[in-house]
Amino acid sequence: MPSRVNPTTSRSDERFETEETFFPVRATIEAVLHGVALVALAFLVWQAVHVLRQRPAVYAAGNSVRASLVRWTTRQAPEKAHVALDSVPTPDLRDWIAALPGAGTQMSWEGGSLRPSAVAVEPVPDPKHKVRIWVAAPAKSMVSLSDALGGIDSVDVETGGAVLTVPGVEGDVGATVNGTKATTVQRDSLTIKPVLVLGVASWEPKFIMASLEEYGWKVDSRFSISPKSGDVVQNVVPSAVQIDTSKYAAVIAVDSSAQRYAGQIAEYVRKGGGFIATGDAAALPAFAELMPGHPGTASQEHDFDLDSVTPRTAISLAAISQLKPNAVPIEMRAHEVAVAARRVGQGRVLQVGYLDTWRWRMGGIEKSIDPYRNWWATMVSSIAYAPRHPIANSSPVEPTPMASLVSILGTPTSQKPPSGSFLDDPRLLPALFGLLMFAFLVEWGSRRLRGQP
Amino acid sequence: MVKDFTFATAMYESGDWESAPLLPGCVIDALARYTSLSIAPMGVNVALGSPEIFNFPFVWLTGHLPVRFTDQERKNLKQYVERGGFMMIDDHNHDQDGIFHKTMTEELTRTFGPLKEVPKTHELYHCFFEFSDGPPATVAELSGWGDQLVHKELHAVMPQGDRIGLLYSLKDYSSEWNMHPDTKQFSTVDPTRFGVNMIVYALTR
């Protein structure tokens, strides 16, 4: 009877054969995983060589730009890079992007949603609103203005810009439009000197003076009362009025009594002073060389309409005609020049054709005080002499962020650079590495569970 | 073009606004005598309740009788002062217990709040003639008429700083200046000189 046991076969060999028989599929899978691991490893080696040899083109957008810049700068120097910006980057990020071409990366960018904006600040010879802020922004956008102390104001831009006058600003002034903040600082301040009003004591100079004082101007005055008694003065030495740019921001002459100061006023204007002539003062031959035009005959005299809702259309007007070549009409009434301005030497001259403007304040509609006061204050401010003084300020500002971006990064393009093959995808490396490790560990684990080395 | 100064007297519906008919001519005479201002030779009467009041930035108002302004008069008075007009109100009774003073100060307080005392240093007393002791005394005060007091100060509504918009007097300048201008020649000192100060102040401040 033949033995049932093969004496040449050990127990272990027997078990092996049994397992080989039972796990052919498992062995096959292990072999496949082994192969996958080897292929992945080989691909990773090839990829490393490929990246070193041929750098890829890469792309980043929005919030990922900064992280991408870190990667591109420290681990991967792409041949081409394209960034899509959804807001104007901070100066450091912008400069970082601009520096990449220096490392051999061809940069391009786009910013389809970015809108240009700009902000500027200038001092104004106005005691109430000393600073004017200019903002350029896209139409139909809202601009928020702020300074170092907090929010200043916000304004809806209708056509492309806005101008605001404010009492003052502190530190950096920012204008935020669609998330982009333009910043600037006030670089000059003005010395605002008093205004001198000259005239015979009457309602016109009195109301001009009172309104300017109420507005915030410091006003000196000299009103003629009587040759014997002299003049009624305010803040002026009665014996002599010294009209000079060191003393006055502007001089207002209301009537012919200014004749005696004609020489001083002409010199004052040539040195930079501001001069406003109205009423009979504008018709004085002594001021003819200074005036922007020739005063006409008074119209609508004595027919001021007490119920007028537009008082300046109702008060008397001596329309200004025969404007000199460098004269500019400032205000028109119908087709007539009501106010005109002209530069003379370094100064400015304003000729006001309206007569008896005090009736506007006394007899206009109920809310006539502020418009009258503001109108005269604006007239004075427009010609006032105010020496500038620089303000020391070294903080970095960006008054035109979009323009600076274009200037530094070049013209934006909406065409992304070719991204190359999927091999250039930075996500490929970790994916391959993960696959390698997975295949290796599974294959190794499976073999160990079978008792194989 | 220097416009004429016109002396305007306010007419109001209650009381006797016309109680000092010679006063405008007397003050106009003083203005012509001491200044070279262009002055309308005749005064005008203008209703406090009419919009025409705003054509005259200086208005005189006086009376003996109780005063009760209409709503329109009260509204115009407030606007008149706020816009920069100068109104002089004088108690023709010279009597702090008098009915004009009581009713008028009630009206003014109701419209503007309490009146302020005008200090002796105020420009009103120095802008033309010098009145270093404040408002000049009147014959009515010195004669012991009315409340038998010499009032040392005037009161005012000052809408902006110390600028006077309405001046209120218990001194009875309405009697003092209610005379034919030629009568002044019998006085040692022209009593209407303070009237000149008031108008010069109104024209220059």
> What CATH number has the domain bearing residue A343?
3.40.50.880
pLDDT greater than 50 at residue A174: yes
Q: Is residue A288 part of a domain?
A: yes
Q: Is residue A49 part of a domain?
A: no
User: Do A197 and A325 share a domain, yes or no?
Assistant: yes
ipTM of the complex: 0.95
User: Would the CB atoms of A369 and B82 count as touching at under 8 Å?
Assistant: yes
- The band of A366, judged by pLDDT with boundaries at 50, 70 and 90, is low
Q: Is residue A40 part of a domain?
A: no
User: Do A295 and A357 share a domain, yes or no?
Assistant: yes
Number of domains into which chain A is organized: 3
pLDDT greater than 50 at residue B175: yes
pLDDT greater than 50 at residue A83: yes
Q: Is residue A20 part of a domain?
A: no
Choice between B4 and B111, residue whose per-residue pLDDT is larger:
B111
- Burial class, A46, CB count within 10 angstroms (exposed 0-12 / middle 13-18 / buried 19+): exposed
pLDDT greater than 50 at residue B1: no
pLDDT greater than 70 at residue A235: no
User: Do A205 and A336 share a domain, yes or no?
Assistant: yes
CA distance B46 to B41: 16
User: Do A98 and A133 share a domain, yes or no?
Assistant: no
| pLDDT score recorded for residue A229 | 64
Q: Is residue A285 part of a domain?
A: yes
Given a contact cutoff of 8 angstroms between Cβ atoms, the answer to whether A33 and A443 are in contact is: yes
User: Do A298 and A180 share a domain, yes or no?
Assistant: no
| pLDDT score recorded for residue A417 | 59
User: Do A216 and A357 share a domain, yes or no?
Assistant: yes
Give the pLDDT confidence of A45-63 residue by residue, as tens digits.
887 776 666 666 677 777 7
Give the pLDDT confidence of A331-361 residue by residue, as tens digits.
998 899 999 999 999 999 999 999 999 988 9
Which of B152, B126, B123, B147 lies closest to B137 in space, CA to CA?
B152
Nearest Cα of chain B lies from the Cα of A343 at a distance, in angstroms, of 26
CA distance B7 to B21: 12
| pLDDT score recorded for residue B2 | 40
CA distance B98 to A28: 127
| Residue A355 contacts B, CB cutoff 8 Å | yes
| pLDDT score recorded for residue A400 | 92
- The band of A1, judged by pLDDT with boundaries at 50, 70 and 90, is very low
φ and ψ of A270, to 5 deg:
-65, -25
In chain B, the residue whose alpha carbon lies closest to the alpha carbon of A255 is B1
User: Do A203 and A310 share a domain, yes or no?
Assistant: yes
In chain B, the residue whose alpha carbon lies closest to the alpha carbon of A281 is B1
Q: Which residue in B83, B124, B199, B200 has the most chain A C-beta atoms within 10 A of its own C-beta, making it the best mutation to test that interface?
A: B83
Percent of chain A at pLDDT above 90?
A: 48
Choice between B170 and B185, residue whose per-residue pLDDT is larger:
B170
Q: Is residue A448 part of a domain?
A: no
User: Do A145 and A104 share a domain, yes or no?
Assistant: no
- The band of A305, judged by pLDDT with boundaries at 50, 70 and 90, is low
CA distance B7 to B10: 10
User: Do A110 and A243 share a domain, yes or no?
Assistant: no
User: Do A335 and A380 share a domain, yes or no?
Assistant: yes
In chain B, the residue whose alpha carbon lies closest to the alpha carbon of A283 is B1
User: Do A302 and A339 share a domain, yes or no?
Assistant: yes
Across A12-26, A295-309, B24-38, the highest mean pLDDT is recorded for B24-38
pLDDT greater than 50 at residue A286: yes
pLDDT greater than 60 at residue A329: yes
Percent of chain A at pLDDT above 70?
A: 85
| pLDDT score recorded for residue A107 | 86
B:139-198 residues touching chain A, CB 8 A cutoff: 160-161, 163
Q: Is residue A30 part of a domain?
A: no
Domain limits at A409? 57-114+403-419
Given a contact cutoff of 8 angstroms between Cβ atoms, the answer to whether B59 and B80 are in contact is: yes
The first and second tokens of residue B77, run together, are 């008075």
On chain B, the residues whose CB falls within 8 A of the CB of A224 are 36
Q: What is the mean pLDDT of chain A?
A: 85
Q: Find how far residue A126's CA is from the centre of its chain.
A: 22
Residue with tokens 């000729």: A351
On chain B, the residues whose CB falls within 8 A of the CB of A214 are 160
User: Do A356 and A290 share a domain, yes or no?
Assistant: yes
User: What's the CATH code of the domain at A166?
Assistant: 2.60.40
Strand partners, A196: A220, A251
